[in-house]
Structure 1
Amino acid sequence: MARVSQEHLDARRRQIIDGAARCFARDGFHGTSMQGVLKEVGLSAGAVYRYFSGKEDLIAAIADEAFTSIRLAFQEAADATPPPTPDVLLGRVLRGLFSGEVCGLDGRQFAALIVQVWSETLRNERLAATFDDGFSTMRVVWADVVEGYRKTGVMRADVPADHVARAMMAAAQGFFAQMALFGDAEPEVLENGLRGLMSMDLQKIG
């Protein structure tokens, strides 16, 4: 019997993950059955179960890939010295994430998947652990970005770096929620909004 190449195995696993991600983004985790996934990917049960034990295993694999993609995207964008301003940084990352590179999903599909993953972490300990790890790592990445701003003298130093990091992360999370719920948001919306807030002259307030 001919030996199956690693490239073939990787391509088949990729096919299953992408198909399942489309199902989950379209029908939700609880509205998607393994039969639906099998139909979406056009494979037999045996072929799919060779890679994944069931729906929970698929959800975990997709969630891990999504979290990793987000973390790496921010890390890559933040590696510049000095780092780009928050509006540019977030816009750059979101464009990459919404380009279809993650599980082949478009912007709204990807955002819908992320919001569902957040919800699923409330009941799934395995996902919650993955999410906690990703969130902690992201806080460190963003805190490093804040330190980069401070070193160049463009940001005041009297606010904890972690607080600034979490505020910027919240902006990105809010954008994902808007995209998933309404579908009318584009990275330019967040970029322009942040740019407007950053342009405020605080000396004229109060």
Structure 2
Amino acid sequence: MARVSQEHLDARRRQILNGAARCFARNGFHATSMQDVLREADLSAGAVYRYFRSKEEIIEAIVAEVLDAMRSAFESAVSQTPPPTPDQLVANVMAQVLSGGHGLPYEGRESLPRLMIQVWTEALRNDRLSAAMREGYASVRGAWTEVVTAYQTAGMMRDDIPADHVARTMIALAQGFAAQQAVFGTAPVAVLQDGVRGLMSMGTQKAG
């Protein structure tokens, strides 16, 4: 029997995650059954259960990939000296993530915000998912804190405010923008960039 290549295995796993993410974004976690995932992915039960033993494992895999992609995007910004300004940085990362970059398991600008809202709600009742979310958030927060520290070192930002506090606020801006997308409809990432730029301008211009 011919051995199945790793490339084939990775492609099949991606097929499952893509199908599941479409179902979750469209109908929510609880209204989506494993049978729905099987139909959407166009695979047999045996093929899917080879990779994931339950719907909860699929959800956890999607959450892990989204958090990892966001962390990776900000880690790449740390390597730049100086890093992009906050308005550029937040907008660039959100644009990459919303467009489904980094091989993420969703398609279309509407999918990620809808998935995020559902994940936050599910984490309140699912201890395993909550633990995964906390671990992922800590990792993302660490990457963002490095960016803020780089700002402070380069003299781009005041250094008397804890870098972690600024990082949490930057994360909240991205999360809030995603939540608005899910509830109120999509808006260009330029809206977020302009808003952050406006906040950054306070104190730089005199009235009159």
Provide the TM-score with structure 1 as the length reference.
0.93
Q: Give the match for residue 72 of structure 1.
A: 72
How many residues align structurally?
A: 205
- After superposition, residues 131-146 of structure 1 pair within 5 angstroms as 131-146=133-148
The CA deviation string for residues 8-45 of structure 1, in whole angstroms up to 9 with x for no partner, is 11111110111001100111001101111111011111
**Matching residue within 169, 182, 187 for 1:185:** 187
Distance 1:40 1:185 in 2: 28
List structure 1 segments (4+ residues) > 4 angstroms apart after TM superposition: 202-205
Contact kept in structure 2, 1:77 and 1:92, CA below 8 Å = no
Distance 1:115 1:72 in 2: 22
- After superposition, residues 1-206 of structure 1 pair within 5 angstroms as 1-101=1-101, 102-201=104-203
Matching residue's letter, 1:40? E
Gaps of at least 5 residues in structure 1 are none
SS in 1 for 2:110: helix
Contact kept in structure 1, 2:18 and 2:106, CA below 8 Å = yes
Gaps of at least 5 residues in structure 2 are none
Distance 2:46 2:121 in 1: 30
Provide the TM-score with structure 2 as the length reference.
0.92
Distance 2:123 2:79 in 1: 29
Matching residue's letter, 2:167? A
Contact kept in structure 1, 2:94 and 2:189, CA below 8 Å = yes
Distance 1:203 1:191 in 2: 19
Matching residue's letter, 1:166? R
